[in-house]
A and B are shown apart, each in its own frame.
Chain A
Amino acid sequence: GAGVSQSPRYKVTKRGQDVALRCDPISGHVSLYWYRQALGQGPEFLTYFNYEAQQDKSGLPNDRFSAERPEGSISTLTIQRTEQRDSAMYRCATTWGTSGTDTQYFGPGTRLTVL
């Protein structure tokens, strides 16, 4: 497709379960960012990659959160032992360059609900 895609679009899980959220970047985009957005709030940075290298993971809230991008394309954000406070919209965004000043193209997000 032409844009950034994310799957699943909606995920409902029970507390304690692990979830994996996927981001497919625009072809050729080298930087990929993960954000979390609570209802009524702006997005909050989680982590980002240049190619396959994770450049900054300082926004990951705790060690239950991890992300990978093994081949520099598709990325997976994994949340282990989910808690109700993890419920949010998880978005990824990609850019064609690595400078950080390029236009970010956002995916539609995955709405995660932890029961």
Chain B
Amino acid sequence: KNEVEQSPQNLTAQEGEFITINCSYSVGISALHWLQQHPGGGIVSLFMLSSGKKKHGRLIATINIQEKHSSLHITASHPRDSAVYICAVKETSGSRLTFGEGTQLTVNP
């Protein structure tokens, strides 16, 4: 069992739909990152969370430390949101990140 698991692995949506991507982890963490990997391969950091909720534009990230679970939501999805979304956790000790395998999101017009 991976330390970081994402679901679903693949997600196809119609433009305008509300999207939720989930991340569960099994270790104690001090921070959780959501990353976006573009079709061209570049990786961009979207959020870093240690508690609560963060919002940036149409993106919302939440984390429940007790349940060891985080969600990334996209409101009013658009084809340009099509990408791989990756969850990564920083364990309590050390500075390394452990990554999930990513969720491939495709938003159709």
Most buried by A among B31, B45, B100: B45
Q: Are B31 and A42 in contact (CB under 8 A)?
A: no
* B30 at interface, CB cutoff 8 A: yes
Q: Are A108 and B95 in contact (CB under 8 A)?
A: no
B interface, by DSSP: helix, strand, loop or mixed? Answer: strand
Partner of B94, one of A35, A56, A91, A93: A56
Q: Are B86 and A48 in contact (CB under 8 A)?
A: no
Contacts of B88 in A (CB 8 A): 42-43
* A33 at interface, CB cutoff 8 A: yes
Whether A33 touches B97, Cβ cut-off 8 Å, given contacts A101-B50, A103-B45, is: yes
* Number of residues of chain B lying within 8 A (CB) of chain A: 24
Partner of A100, one of B35, B44, B94: B94
Partner of A55, one of B33, B44, B95, B101: B95
Partner of B90, one of A56, A100, A106: A100
Seen from chain A, the residues whose Cβ lies within 8 Å of a Cβ on chain B are 31, 33, 35, 40-45, 48, 50, 55-56, 58-59, 89, 91, 93, 98-106, 108-109
Contacts A/B (CB < 8 Å), 24 sampled: A31-B95, A35-B99, A41-B102, A42-B100, A43-B88, A45-B99, A48-B96, A55-B95, A56-B94, A59-B96, A89-B41, A93-B43, A98-B95, A100-B30, A100-B90, A100-B94, A101-B48, A104-B33, A104-B97, A106-B35, A106-B42, A106-B43, A106-B44, A109-B41
